[in-house]
Amino acid sequence: MATIRLGDAAPDFTADSSMGMINLYDYLGDGWGILFSHPADFTPVCTTELGTAAKFKAEFDKRNVKMLALSVDGVASHGEWIKDINETQHTTVNFPIIADENKKVSTLYDMIHPNANDSLTVRSVYIIGPDKTVKLIITYPASTGRNFHELLRVIDSLQLTAYHKVATPANWENGDRVVISPSINTEDAKKIFTKGVEEIKPYLRMTPQPNI
């Protein structure tokens, strides 16, 4: 297992899931992907996370992001757990959960952190771009459930900054003003960002979000 860093190719794999065998690259096609791990089936925080993820699926779809969850239990266990998730979270789990019983994928993606827990995965999040490289990695401990609004927010930032020479400032939300890349001088920035450029400092230039 090699360390995966931002910009690296996302390791491809084929694994069984709650929706049958899945090959990562085929599943992603030419879209974006989010791969997120859960410590184990039938655990409370994971149950709320997967229910929430299911309710957010339309938002991920809108952004052309394929969802793929993972837990180190088997397909039969996932099937029973999904019934509980649907019942308790009032939703329908509508994306695959990898059955990583042999820990092949969690090892490949360094999702087991032995000093936290030597057998269960932590809550890893990998966002993968259409070029199959890793665009974002976040790691939460088992005791902290993820904020799916934040995951959509970072995807909005990644998708904006992939196509425009801007970066998103602290606490940015879709629609807010953005920062112009330091690689563009202010004279050029004024030609590119026709909605306006505010130069607060030579290195700090703001412009309305270019893609709305």
State the residue for tokens 């997120």: 36
Q: Is 40 among the residues known to form the active site?
A: no
| Span interacting with ligand BEZ, options 2-10, 36-44, 50-58, 150-158, rule CB under 6 A | 36-44
> Taking CB under 6 A as the rule, does residue 116 contact ligand BEZ?
no
Nearer to ligand BEZ by C-beta: 85 or 128? 85
CA atoms within 13 A on the CB side of 205: 21
State the sign of the Cα–Cα–Cα–Cα dihedral 82, 120, 145, 173. negative
Does 134 bind ligand BEZ (CB under 6 A)? Our answer is: no
Is-contact 93 50, C-beta < 8 A? yes
Which residue in the list 22, 46, 127, 152 is annotated as catalytic?
Answer: 46
Containing 53, the helix (H) or strand (E) segment is helix 44-55
Q: By CB under 6 A, name the one of 142, 151, 155, 160 that touches ligand BEZ.
A: 142
Q: Check residue 46 for interaction with ligand BEZ (CB under 6 A).
A: yes
Beta bridge partners of 138: 125
Buried b (16+ CB within 10 A) or exposed e, 96-108: bbbbbeeeebbeb
Instruction: Spell out the residues 6+ positions from residue 167 whose beta carbon is closer than 8 angstroms to its own.
Output: 161, 178, 179, 181
When the beta carbons of 108 and 142 are compared against ligand BEZ, the nearer one is 142
CB of 48 to ligand BEZ, least distance (A): 8
Stretch binding ligand BEZ (CB under 6 A), from 1-9, 41-49, 84-92, 106-114:
41-49
- Alpha carbons 4 and 128: distance in angstroms, whole number: 12
For position 125 contacting ligand BEZ by CB under 6 A, the verdict is no
Counting every residue written for the chain, the total comes to: 212
Structure-token pair, residue 211? 């893609």
Which of 16, 19, 31, 43 lies at the binding interface for ligand BEZ (CB under 6 A)? 43
Q: What's the closest the beta carbon of residue 143 comes to ligand BEZ, in angstroms?
A: 5
51 in contact with ligand BEZ (CB under 6 A): no
Choosing from 7, 20, 44, 202, the residue that interacts with ligand BEZ (CB under 6 A) is 44
Which residues contact ligand BEZ by CB under 6 A? 39-40, 43-46, 142-143
